[in-house]
Structure 1
Amino acid sequence: MSKARQKQPFQLPDFYVPWPARLNPNLETARAHTKAWSYQMGILGPPRDGTDREVWSERRFDGMDYALLCAYTHPEAPGPELDLITDWYVWVFYFDDHFLEVFKYSRDVKGGQAYLDRLPLFMPLDLSQTPPEPVNPVERALWDLWQRTVPSMSMDWRRRFFENTKHLLDESMWEIENISEARVSNPIEYIEMRRKVGGAPWSSDLVEHAVAAEIPARVVKSRPMRVFKDTFSDAVHLRNDLFSYERELEEGELSNGVLVVEKFLDCDTQRAADLVNDLLTSRLQQFEATFATELPWLFAENALNPVEQAQVLSYLRGLQDWQSGGHEWHMRSNRYMNQHSEERPALSIPVPTGLGTSALRIPLTPGGLG
């Protein structure tokens, strides 16, 4: 074990988790399915990308446990849907680590861009279009997933999912350029860019698929829905930054919210982590404030019928499940810094839980207690 692993760079803060995590009963089936699928795609097993790099061993794959992530973040998904969602997350994390191994470590900006330029070809809006022959596991798995996902969704959703997937891929170039230039963003730029190219908008699209409830097209760009998506994205990204700080520091990564605050305010790492956690808490609370004050107006202003209202509510509940489930997985996965996490559990006043009730819960943190 490395010296960095013996002592964490900061103690994890007391997290505000307003919704209880629930576990999908189809977890074990998803674990078995996604491992077999990963071998089929070439994500696991002998390298099939023209290199000799083994990005993930089976042992590492088991420890990261992406089936557990998806079983927590999508607790009500039927078995086949959980299998599909789990495969998507295996793909996206594998893409991230594969890009790190092949392009980030070597600072190969030109090669990385050429690699990324091919991937949209495997996401045709019109499935009658045939992509080129895949040359690596990322391309092969993306084409497989795309064919299994988009046929049941509207063209409006397909366009949104295509754009958010492309933005997620493009984030890798933003990160590699920051590394090449030894550049750390300022906090405002960082939040803005993460909203645009981070993984959370992509995840929120998959929530619609998982709960079988598309957001009505005429309200997708409304202010309340944009606030829901932005606060969801900010909270997901900031939580990940807190748990992944140590790993990303070891990888030379500069796109991390804790590091951004630490450098911008010239403060110690613990103080930066606590400030990021405060911001994370505020985003969760704004989500619920928007639900309480703006959702009725959204329904009335856009004349949403009962079915459409139910679709929006199912989607928002799915975002809440993602927040609580994602937190639970971060506390357990070997991908992240989570030593001693059980010693400082998330705290809140014990009051009713459910959609729209977290405004009743006041987070208990050392700072809040004085």
Structure 2
Amino acid sequence: MTIEEKQSVTGTGIQTGPKDVIILKRPEIAKGDTITVKIPDLLVSILEKPRNLNPLFDKTLDMDDWVCKLLGFDERLSKEWVNMRFPLLCASMIPNSSEQPLRGYNEWVAWAFPFDDRIDGGDLANDLDGAAAEIIETLAIMDDDHPIIDPEVNGIRHIFQKLWLRISKYAPPDERRRYKRLNREYMLGLLQQIKWLGYKDRVLTIDEYLAFRRPSSGVGPTCLFAEWSVTESNKIPCEVVEHPSVEIFRYLVMDIVAISNDIYSCPKDIPNGEGSSTVCILLKQGYSLQEAIDEAGKMVIDRYKMWEQAVRDLPSWGEEIDAVVLKLIQAYSDVCWGDTMWSFQTARYMGAEKEQARATGMLTFAVKDVEKAARVPQSS
């Protein structure tokens, strides 16, 4: 089956394949006037120290072939998927994980990106009822009596169920409970995204935007996989993991990854007409593109400062537990670092400009795409 290039609101970065799978990427830059902007260097403070890639990375490269066959991708879409470099993302975000959590996170990412893309810029972007129905069906998969899903019937749900069966086998009850809760919050965040972005003639505040962007970023479940990379061999009471002084780091990870991702992905988001972006929200508030990117960068740096203060404010649970808590916090910061490094390696966000962006920080946009993203529709 050939891939169909669908014309989106402002670009052609929406690709559909068999079984209604949708993949978003950066389209070719539209012809006409262009503008070049500089993105900030965010590899400072808690991200200044380089991390090593998970040594099990090579063992997870087979995930690409498995996903492409499962979802029925043809040669072209398979190449697009491989160029996204999702195994690299996983190996960067949880660099110290053993094989089970790492493979589990690869499965979660393989499910989450196609699931998310349907809502970000696909067939469910403006369909609140349709998205709600899909989410209800997906959440039901985590019921113990849910029937086995045939991959030929729904490959995306099959991936989600395969992961849930893995977690049911290896994770203790309290971690299964948290996994369910965090995935539910993620999906409900996506519903809130559709609702808020549906107010076409209203300019959101950053606080309103982040209220749904935090859960819809998918960072909550990601943090759980990062925790497993630590707690698998370092047991820690659940009440410590869920203590407010530790919880704040998960909130900060959500903000850091969400906002920095909005910077790195704006070459994809702006031409594709995706409104769920800090940069796009600021454009609609009257910022120029460079001003919006700079402001988003300042927001990330502010979170770094909050992180450093939160480390200083940590209480003590005794020497042994304190040591594990510090490992947890390091694992959370690894999530931020891995997302940043991957953003310059994947073809998803910056396309052919990713090498240039990594070397110089410079990115090019079509002026007409930026103007369209900044436009606020007037109510009739």
**Same fold per TM (> 0.5)?**
yes
Residue 161 of structure 2 aligns to which amino acid in structure 1?
W
**1:146 matched to 2:164:** yes
The CA deviation at 1:283 is: 0.8
Do the aligned partners of 1:204 and 1:319 also contact (CA within 8 Å) in 2? yes
Which of 302, 307, 317 is matched with 1:282 structurally? 302
> Closer, same or farther in 2 for the Cα pair 1:8/1:73, shift >3 Å?
farther
Do the aligned partners of 2:101 and 2:225 also contact (CA within 8 Å) in 1? no
Q: In structure 1, what is the equivalent of residue 365 of structure 2?
A: none
The CA deviation at 1:76 is: 1.9
Distance in structure 2 (CA, Å) of the matches to 1:335 and 1:214? 37
The CA deviation at 1:84 is: 2.3
Moved more, 320-329 or 220-229: 220-229
> Closer, same or farther in 2 for the Cα pair 1:319/1:214, shift >3 Å?
farther
Superposed, which structure 2 residues align to 1:189-204 within 5 Å? 189-204=208-223
> Closer, same or farther in 2 for the Cα pair 1:8/1:332, shift >3 Å?
farther
Q: In structure 2, what is the equivalent of residue 161 of structure 1?
A: 179
Q: In structure 1, what is the equivalent of residue 50 of structure 2?
A: 20
The CA deviation at 1:101 is: 6.5
Q: In structure 2, what is the equivalent of residue 327 of structure 1?
A: 340
Q: In structure 1, what is the equivalent of residue 66 of structure 2?
A: 37
Q: In structure 1, what is the equivalent of residue 373 of structure 2?
A: none
> Closer, same or farther in 2 for the Cα pair 1:5/1:152, shift >3 Å?
farther
**1:254 matched to 2:281:** no
Structure number with the higher strand fraction is 2
Q: In structure 1, what is the equivalent of residue 248 of structure 2?
A: 227
User: % of aligned pairs identical?
Assistant: 24
Do the aligned partners of 2:283 and 2:292 also contact (CA within 8 Å) in 1? yes
Distance in structure 2 (CA, Å) of the matches to 1:319 and 1:44? 34
Unmatched 5+ residue regions in structure 1? 47-53, 346-370
**1:314 matched to 2:327:** yes
Distance in structure 1 (CA, Å) of the matches to 2:95 and 2:322? 21
Dislocated runs of 4+, deviation >6 Å = none
1:118 match: secondary structure: helix
> Closer, same or farther in 2 for the Cα pair 1:179/1:218, shift >3 Å?
closer
Q: In structure 2, what is the equivalent of residue 130 of structure 1?
A: 146
Residue 333 of structure 1 aligns to which amino acid in structure 2?
T
Q: In structure 1, what is the equivalent of residue 138 of structure 2?
A: 119
Residue 233 of structure 1 aligns to which amino acid in structure 2?
M
> Closer, same or farther in 2 for the Cα pair 1:67/1:184, shift >3 Å?
farther
The total of aligned residue pairs comes to 323
Q: Any idea what the Cα deviations from partners look like across 1:10-65, whole Å, max 9, x if unmatched?
A: 32122233231321222222112x1233145x33437xxxxxxx9x8111111101
2:228 match: secondary structure: helix
Residue 176 of structure 1 aligns to which amino acid in structure 2?
I
Q: CA RMSD in A?
A: 2.6
The CA deviation at 1:173 is: 2.1
Q: In structure 2, what is the equivalent of residue 351 of structure 1?
A: none
Do the aligned partners of 2:168 and 2:176 also contact (CA within 8 Å) in 1? yes
Unmatched 5+ residue regions in structure 2? 1-26, 362-380
Superposed, which structure 2 residues align to 1:59-138 within 5 Å? 59-100=79-120, 103-104=123-124, 107-124=126-143, 127=144, 129-131=145-147, 133=149, 135-138=153-156
Do the aligned partners of 1:178 and 1:254 also contact (CA within 8 Å) in 2? no
Q: In structure 2, what is the equivalent of residue 349 of structure 1?
A: none
The CA deviation at 1:271 is: 0.7
The CA deviation at 1:80 is: 4.2
> Closer, same or farther in 2 for the Cα pair 1:219/1:9, shift >3 Å?
farther
Q: Any idea what the Cα deviations from partners look like across 1:274-324, whole Å, max 9, x if unmatched?
A: 111111012123212211x222x2x2xxx4561x33432222121122121
